Copies of this chain bind each other. A is one copy, B any other.
Amino acid sequence: MQTFTINSALDMHLHLRDEEMLKLVAPLTSKTFAAALIMPNLVPPVTTKEALLGYKERIKEACKKDDFEPKMTLFFKNDYSYEFLKDIKDEIIALKLYPAGITTNSETGVSSMDVESLRPTLESMSKLNIPLCIHGETNGFVMDREKEFMPIYESIASSFPDLKIIMEHITTKDAVKLLDKYENLYATVTLHHLLITLDDLAGGMLKPHLFCKPIAKRPEDRSALLEAALNAHPKLMFGSDSAPHPKHKKECCGCAAGVFTSPIALQVLTELFDKNNKLENLNSFISLNAQRIYNFKAKEKAIKLVKKEFIVPDAYRYNEEIVVPMFAGQSLSWSIEE
């Protein structure tokens, strides 16, 4: 039987939430991933060292695994002092910037993306060599939000040439193109944006479980993302943006955005890279690129996949919490060797 080994899988964009939901989803990542970059958009967001260390502790406890490392991020604010950032630097891998109100729990994000208003914090980050992760969307028409954000990426990238900037969960060919224009621009891409377009959400029946922000775009966008991922574009990393929302908030009359992929990501990525005869690039996409870009050495953690059918569970549960994964109830052609 065909097998493939993924070494030190890294999820460079992950939502673990808190409390019961954290306890449900954290082990589903720590089972197969060696580390993950943890998003700070809790309620309230993670903006202090105390909150950060407390959250890290709760994550570790929920994981019950020593071979998983949560890489913490701080919620971007304009007015962090240099001293504060210097003090917290060793505890974090990056700051995450949200334009206010653009996605789940981002209400306290920045209200202006004008470089001058961001400058105080960005200058400190640049000096301290702390990377900046950005949710890059305007509040324009839903299909244009990422494209409209490109000039803002360009403005920050050129104003702070020593700052590493990661365009999070890119969804368009425009963003792929921008990677090659600025040396200090990088990106993550999700599993679902490699697989779906708006057609999958709304072309047939409406599929709330495929509703995400940024919204899945056009076929030519998916092609550009897929090509970059399959060829292990050196500036592109895997970041699942796996976002657990309770089942009842996905199947209702005003559904939350987010696709839950953590427990199936490795299987689906292996299937995708195998189908395209690019398995040799998967470890770069899912681990080596991120280690080089963020400049850290991941712990050893080998996960062996076998080409054997895996039926995705209908849901994952913990007490009252129920989360429905992507491909719920469907058959995948690769599974994790237990």
List the interface of chain A (C-beta within 8 A of B).
141-143, 197-199, 201-203, 205-209, 211, 215, 218-219, 250-257, 324
- Check A143 against B205 for contact (C-beta < 8 Å): no
- Of the candidates B198, B206, B251, the one whose C-beta lies within 8 Å of that of A141 is B198
Q: For the complex formed by this chain, how many copies does it contain in all?
A: 2
- Do residues A253 and B253 form an inter-chain contact, with CB atoms below 8 A? no
A205 B142 Cβ-Cβ under 8 A: no
Taking a contact as CB atoms closer than 8 A, the residue among B211, B250, B252 that contacts A202 in the complex is B211
In the complex, are the beta carbons of A215 and B202 less than 8 A apart? yes
**Do A142 and B324 touch across chains, with their CB atoms under 8 A apart?**
no
Supply 6 further A-B pairs (C-beta < 8 A) apart from A206-B254, A208-B208, A208-B253.
A143-B198, A202-B202, A206-B211, A206-B255, A207-B253, A207-B254
Q: How far is the CA of A335 from the CA of B82 in the complex (A)?
A: 60
Q: Which residues of B contact A199 (CB under 8 A)?
A: 141-142
Known: A141-B219, A199-B141. A206 touches B251 (CB 8 A): no
Q: Give bound CA distance, A218 to B197, whole Å.
A: 17
Q: Is the CB of A218 within 8 A of B251?
A: no
Docked-complex contact A255 and B205, CB < 8 angstroms: yes
List residues of chain B with CB within 8 A of the CB of A143: 143, 198, 218
